Structure 1
């Protein structure tokens, strides 16, 4: 595994202090904690409605002492930004090509020698959509890890980790339960999020 901003010695401590100070200055509350027994997991990232979600997600991850990796469209990884995006924990995804993303993501989680959290926005886009993609669910099932319901509520200025969810295999029932948890939250562009 390549080194990221979260595993770079010295940088991690400095950016954690900065993140906590910045979030407090802006009036944000960071809530919850990742149970040590679930250090490898899939984190749902919702609502996802703005490019501002990424910097706030990184700061919250520092505050919570996470080691996150996130998926982004491959255009974000074009030269000269690719190395920086990967250092920030990014994994390039080609949306135009059908690939075995679930298996590759599950393998990355299982191959990690230590804590490793994969952040996946279920909407798959910042634009409004009623249909949530189920990739995050099948990655967790394949990797045999839980799903942690992470959230970012711009209206209430709070972000953090909610319940740990263990997939039952009944995806329809599980998705209803997961979406119900996210219904109260509002993204930066609230009209773009639909958890119904």
Structure 2
């Protein structure tokens, strides 16, 4: 039911599905880019739900109180403690260890503003959890959402992130002036 409704909403909004290779991975970090608008979350949830998947997303644990906790759990929210004594990367690695299926969506830009450098948490989570990175995109120019393939971290972070970023060349962000590709 959710799948059909999401697909219908996307179509009504003029969006189409691009390639969706890799979405059947039982565990992965979903690298979502470009991220320049609050609409990205809505388009992303509709896209992923329309193909029958449910990716988790990080949200401050402080938001997990009644009745919001019910909504966030239903949507795939994963509460994180952002305190100084706790590593979000380590928290997510533990979640990967305890679940048979877990796909975690992360926006590596970390902001909707221009970000020359990407945050590296998505990479470290995938590396430490020993899971691949699924590269997902929203192209507002084509009104298309899809995936750009699967990347397996090698441990050479700078080189790997550069390689991942090259897959997003030519993708039009909602606010193109805020997306810096390589």
TM-score of the superposed pair, with normalisation by structure 1: 0.83
Match of 1:8 in 2: none
Which segments of 5 or more consecutive residues in structure 2 lack a partner in the other structure? none
From 19, 24, 27, the counterpart of 1:32: 19
Which segments of 5 or more consecutive residues in structure 1 lack a partner in the other structure? 1-13
Q: 1:49 to 1:102 in 2, by over 3 A?
A: same
State the SS of the aligned residue for 1:61.
helix
Contact 1:44 1:120 in 2 (8 A): yes
Match of 2:122 in 1: 136
From 23, 36, 57, the counterpart of 1:70: 57
From 93, 101, 105, the counterpart of 2:88: 101
Q: String of CA shifts for 1:57-97, please: whole Å, max 9, x gaps.
A: 11111122112101235675566534322321112445574
**Alpha-carbon separation, structure 2, partners of 1:185 and 1:77:** 34
**Alpha-carbon separation, structure 2, partners of 1:55 and 1:103:** 27
Contact 2:33 2:137 in 1 (8 A): yes
**Alpha-carbon separation, structure 2, partners of 1:152 and 1:193:** 12
Match of 1:175 in 2: 161
**CA-atom RMSD, angstroms?**
2.1
**Alpha-carbon separation, structure 2, partners of 1:153 and 1:94:** 32
**Alpha-carbon separation, structure 1, partners of 2:176 and 2:103:** 26
Match of 1:152 in 2: 138
CA-CA distance at 1:40 after TM superposition = 0.6
Match of 1:46 in 2: 33
Q: String of CA shifts for 1:103-154, please: whole Å, max 9, x gaps.
A: 11112122113x3200010011222221101111111111111001111111
Aligned length: 182
From 57, 60, 73, the counterpart of 1:86: 73
Contact 2:166 2:181 in 1 (8 A): yes
TM-score of the superposed pair, with normalisation by structure 2: 0.88
